[in-house]
A and B are shown apart, each in its own frame.
Chain A
Amino acid sequence: MNSFYSSLKPCANRVQSLRDSSALEREAQLRLFSREIRQCVLQVIHGAGLGHVGGDFSVADTLATLFGSVLNYDPANPHWADRDRFILSKGHCSASLYSVLALCGFIDPEQLDTFAKPLSALNGHPNRQKVPGVETNTGPLGHGLPVAAGCAMAARISGAAWRTFVVLGDGELQEGSNWEAIMFAGHKGLSNLTAIVDRNRLQQGARTEDTNRLEPLADKWRAFGWEVLEIDGHEFNALYDALAGKRGDRPRCVIANSLKGKGVSFMEDRVEWHHKVPSEEQFKLAEVELGGAA
Chain B
Amino acid sequence: MSANESSQVSPVPLFDCRQTFVETLIELAQADKRIVAVCNDSVGSSNLGAFAKQFPDRMINVGIAEQNMVGVAAGLANGGFVPFVCAAGPFLSGRATEQVKADIAYSNIPAVLCAMSPGMAYGELGPTHHSIEDLPWMRAIDNLVVMVPADPKQTREAVRWASSAGKPVYMRVPRFKIPAVTPDDHGLVPGKADVLREGRDITLIAIGTLVSRALEAAGVLSREGIEARVLNMATVKPIDADAVLAAARETRRIVTAEEGILYGGLGSAVAEVTAQHCPVPMRMLGVTGFAPTGSTEFLLQHFGLTVEGIAEASRKLTSSVWM
Chain A residues at the B interface, C-beta cutoff of 8 Å? 81, 85, 127-129, 135-140, 142-143, 145-155, 157-158, 160, 164, 176-177, 180-181, 183-184, 187
Contact = CB atoms under 8 A, between A and B. Distances in A.
A150 B76 contact: yes
B57 A181 contact: no
Given A150-B79, A157-B81, A138 B102 contact: yes
Interface string B63-87: 1010110111111111111000000
A156 B216 CA distance: 51
A154 B78 contact: yes
Contacts of B81: 154, 157-158
Interface in B190-230: none
Contacts of B102: 137-140, 143
Contacts of B68: 146, 149, 177, 180-181, 184
Given A129-B107, A136-B109, 12 more contacts: A137-B106, A142-B67, A146-B99, A147-B74, A150-B78, A151-B75, A153-B76, A157-B58, A180-B62, A180-B68, A184-B62, A184-B68
Contacts of A183: 63, 65
B103 interface: yes
B60 interface: yes
Contacts of A140: 98, 102
B65 A150 contact: no
Q: Is the interface of A mostly helix, strand, loop or mixed?
A: helix
A157 to B, nearest CB: 6
Contacts, number: 108
Place the interface of chain B in its size category.
20 to 34
B162 interface: no
Contacts of A135: 78
Interface string B98-116: 1100110011110000000
A146 B99 CA distance: 10
Contacts of B62: 180, 184
B71 A177 contact: yes
B196 to A, nearest CB: 38
B71 A146 contact: yes
Contacts of B99: 143, 146, 177
A184 B72 contact: yes
A77 to B, nearest CB: 15
Interface in B36-63: 36, 57-58, 60, 62-63
B71 A137 contact: no
